[in-house]
Each structure stands twice: as structure tokens, then as C-alpha cells.
Amino acid sequence: MSINLRTVYAFAREMYPKNSSTPVQYGTAGFRGRAEFLDSVMYRMGVLATLRSRIRGGAVIGVMVTASHNPEPDNGVKLIDPKGEMLEASWESIATDLANVEDSELEAHVAKIISDNKIDVGSSSNVFVGMDNRYHSPRLLKAVADGVIALKGNVREFGIVTTPMLHFFVVAANTRGAYGQPTEEGYYRKLITAFETLRGDKLENGNYRNKLIFDGANGVGARKMLQFLKRMHNSLQVEVINKGDGKINENCGADHVKVKQAVPIGMPIVEPYTRCVSVDGDADRVVYFFTDDAGHFRLLDGDRIATLVADYLMDMLKRCDLDLSMGLVQTAYANGGSTDYIANTLKVPVACVPTGVKHLHHKALQYDIGVYFEANGHGTIIFSDNAKCLIKAQSETNPNAKILLQIIDLINETVGDAISDMLLVETILNSKGWDVKDWLATYDDLPNLQLKIKVQDRNVITTTDAERVCVTPVGLQEAIDKVVSNYKRGRAFVRPSGTEDVVRVYAEAATKDETESLAYEVGNLVHQLAGGVGPELIH
């Protein structure tokens, strides 16, 4: 196959010219920003995915058009490597450079990527693309597809899917069906079969009730949850809210519920302690919440899911008589209460890494069973090949190992998957006979608060030690330390967001009032020392 790189430039000039001179950067989860400036980035990521597939011997690469938890005017793109992981770190800078070159330099730049990486441009290339339900996503998806076509790659469009569905399709295709069938039906079938086999006819148990409210954030997660329900055999009663009538993520969804610590818009009046779930705009994160009988909002976030799952899996390993290493991976956002519980009660090794699923996933691969969750509800569990082999062998004689095999099938190991995670939580709560009260009673969260600070250039903030220590601007960390030392059980850190143009502040302390005061003190320090813009600190 002969490829004329002139085509890459011609397409760009005619259809996807670069319309912004503001540099863009491959951030926490790919590129993100206002949709009107992303056409050229999308086209170029189609080009890059095609090259990436070629360098990986024609394995499928995924490109997901989504801005996940961001507001409606934003969009973005996440690249998925052949094993379902986020794009390899060394290619992030290649992606950033490619996204920023001028149109006139594009042809030469692509030629350089090809020669630097010794890519055989005549070889086959396969790219899967999917999108969320933002109104600008179809336009941007077409730009990605044209990028693939410009380099004569094969493109398969999946339309509107959740991010974790696309990860699933990529891995299913690259394992030639061993992981599942690379179709929507294949995805539903695998998860529903595992869930319903685990549940059997025991729909309720102890304090567990078979009913929940599902906040779909007006995103693709709502649509797909409805598809799940159509195919399930009444094994779970779910009332879906925020199905798509309002704006994506606006006053609803996992990010809103977690950060604002408040119920989403559109909540029906429900009995106290009713289990409620919120997912984000592309359904790769999930948090639980409920309102108690005093009308107080209570959150069960990613830390809670991680501890519930780790506890359950440890118990299952004992029942299976298997000695496998298990580790739990968190980020600096993990509540101090959860970290104490994991280390001192569960006695599971716990690691802290920088924000971003790519970091957590990478670390979790070091264990036989790696449980990773960000506090915002983004996470999954991964089982090594060794663990899977041992569990399979044990399942010949041990019924618990059979259950564990179904649990593995229920989990989307490729990436955090809100619906799969929710089905897993439901399975565990059911098996324990727990309601949300029992779950919440496992440990106490420290009160915590997040703020967003607008600054001129968020990159003036740099961090180390898994983002817990701020390196620049010089003097900021000393000032934070001084403030924190005045608060009982106080902890705070600051970091630039990799998905929004803000600096994030996290604070926790012994009481709610102290937490608020600490967060605002640290927020003011950022505002003063890191070039704050505008008067307010945004909660």
C-alpha cells in the first residue's frame, strides 16, 4: 500500500484547519477544551491512532470522543492502547506535538513521526472510534475518522457508547473474542450473564433491597443503563433519572455529587436510605449516595467502593484457599479515613499515585489482584494471568472459586466502568445482606472539600510525591504547611487540573467548619501566590 503524506496536509487544509494558536496539551485523560477548537486536534488524533496501530502490528487502537465530566460546551479525546490501557506515556508528548504544529508543517511532522518510530506505513492499521452524546461529538468523530482514512487505516465507528464500552471493544477485538465479543450486544451479554448468574433468584438478602435510583448525568450512561434494563430479567429495579432532557453534567452526575456533596437535580422524593447512584458524562465513574432520616446527604464515593471490594475479595480468597497478593491504589484525594481503614483494619498494602487512571492502572498491574479507585469514583480491579489461572484451577473443586470467576467476568478490567462497578457493588451488598447504612458504618470519612481556583497559567503549579507536595511557585508549599499545622487532622494539597483550566484545592480536617476554613485559606494562598484571576474561589 502506498501512502502519499500530501493527503494528510490536503485534508487538514481543506477540512480541519487549525483555528486556534493557543497551545493544547495531552492532559490527565487526553485533550479537552471548547468543542469549537477541537476539529483539527481530532483529525490529527485520527492520524496518530493510525500510526500507533501500525507500530503495534495492526492491533486495534481506540479513540473516544468525549469530555467526560466537563460541561456541555467542552469536548475531548482519549486514546486507548491495544490492551485497553490509556495511551502509553511516551506517546503523550508525540500527541501534544502533533496537535500543535501548524497546518503547513503537518506533512513534514507526520513524516518525522514515521521515520523516528520506524513505522511501516504500508502495514495494516485498525482504529475503533466512539463518542458520547454531546451535540458536537458526531462532527468531531468524523474528523477522527477522516484522520484514519487520510493514512489509509481501517476505521470502525461504534456511534454513541460509553468510554468503558469502547475500551471493552478494543480488548475484545485484540484478544480475538477471548475477552468478549467486540459489539454492544457482546458487552451487555458478558456483564448481564455474570451479574444474573451471581444473583440467582436471591434478589434480596438481609438489609439489602433490590431497588435503586440511577442518575445518568444526561449522558450516554443513562441511555446504556436503559439498554441494560431492557436485556436484564428484572434482576435489578432501577429508576433512571437525568436521562438526557437536561444539559450533560449540569447539576447532576458523579462529579457534581462528589464535589458539591449534594443530590443531583431531578431527584424524586424517596424513602430515607434509598440507594442512589450517579455516573459521569461518559459513564466511567460512579459514586453512591443517600439521604438519611434526618435529611442529611451521605456520600459513598470511590474510596468506599474500593474498600468494599477489597474486603469482599480478601474474604473470597480465604474461602477459595488461595494465597494471592492484593494491593489497593489510591490518589492524594483519598480520604484519610479510608486510607487508615485499608492499612489498619483491612491490612491491605496501599499505594498512592498521581491523579489519572493511567497512573493507577499501571501501579495496580504490580499485584496479583490490583484494586484501584480514585475518590471521584473512577476505578476497577485487575487480575493477573497468574491469579486467573489459579482461580480457574481451584474452581474445579471449590464453589467459591466459581463465584470468583463470575466476579471477574462482571468486572470491566480494561478501565473504570460505572455500570460494571455498580453491578459489582450491588452483588457484594446483596451477598453481605447490607444496605447503605451498613456500608457507611465500616469507617468514618474525614470532612473534606474541593475548590477550583482560576489562575492565569495553571502550569505555574508543579508538584511531587504523588501530587501531595507543591514544588512551584516557590514558597507556596511552606505557606500551605503553616496553615495546615493549625488544624486537627488537617491535610491539604493543590494541583493543576489536567482536564479543566483551573487549579484544584483539596482539604480535609477533623470537622466540617475547620475543613471549610482550611480549604478557603489554602485557596487564597493559591490565588495570591499563583496568579489568581477573578475574585472568587469556586466550590
From the list 40, 68, 125, 517, the catalytic residue is 68
Q: Bridge-partner residues for 5, per DSSP?
A: none
The strand pairing partners of 538, in sequence order, are 452
Q: To the nearest whole angstrom, how small is the minimum distance from the Cβ of residue 311 to ligand G16?
A: 23
Three state DSSP letters for 476-534: HHHHHHHHHCCCCCCEEEEEECCCCCCEEEEEECCCHHHHHHHHHHHHHHHHHHCCEEE
Please, what is the minimum distance in Å from the beta carbon of residue 456 to ligand G16?
Answer: 18
H/E run at residue 444: none
Q: How far is the CB of 227 from ligand G16 (least distance, A)?
A: 21
| Distant-in-sequence, close-in-space partners of 347: CB < 8 Å, separation ≥ 6 | none
Integer CA distances (angstroms), 95 to 10, 79, 170, 283, in order: 20, 10, 20, 25
Minimum distance from residue 278 beta carbon to ligand G16 (Å):
12
* Cβ atoms 283, 163 nearer than 8 A: yes
Using an 8 Å Cβ cutoff, are 72 and 249 in contact?
yes
Q: Which is nearer to ligand G16, 71 or 349 (CB)?
A: 71
Dihedrals φ, ψ of 285, to 5°? -135, 150
- Collapsing DSSP to helix, strand or coil, 369 comes out as strand
Residue 240 carries which DSSP code?
A: E
Question: Which H, E and C letters describe 22-73, residue by residue?
Answer: CCCCCECCEEEEEHHHCHHHHHHHHHHHHHHHHHCCCCEEEEEECCCCCCCC
Q: Kindly state the smallest distance separating residue 27's Cβ from ligand G16, in Å.
A: 6
Nearer to ligand G16, 472 or 497 (CB): 497
Q: What is the closest distance, in whole angstroms, from the C-beta atom of residue 421 to ligand G16 in the complex?
A: 13
Q: What per-residue string of b and e applies to 385-397 under the rule 16 or more CB within 10 Å gives b? A: eebbebbeebbee
Which of residues 169 and 312 has its CB atom nearest to ligand G16 in the complex?
Answer: 169
In the complex, the residues that contact ligand G16 under the rule CB under 6 A are 28-29, 68-69, 280, 284-285, 355-357, 374, 376, 378, 497-500, 504
Choice between 374 and 409, CB closer to ligand G16: 374
- The residue among 3 and 466 lying less far from ligand G16, judged by its C-beta, is 466
Q: Do 310 and 341 touch, CB atoms closer than 8 A? A: no
> Which one, 51 or 476, has the nearer CB to ligand G16?
476
Contact 167, 357 (CB under 8 A): no
- Smallest separation, CB 375 to ligand G16 (Å): 9
Percent helix, percent strand, percent coil in the chain, to nearest 5: 40, 20, 35
C-alpha cell at 38: 477541537
In whole angstroms, how close is the CB of 355 to ligand G16 at the nearest point?
A: 5
Distance CA 523, CA 503 (A): 9
- Based on the residue annotation, tell me whether 125 is a catalytic residue of this protein: no
3-state secondary structure of 19: coil
Task: Give 284 or 508: the residue with its C-beta nearer to ligand G16.
Answer: 284
Give catalytic residues, as residue numbers: 68
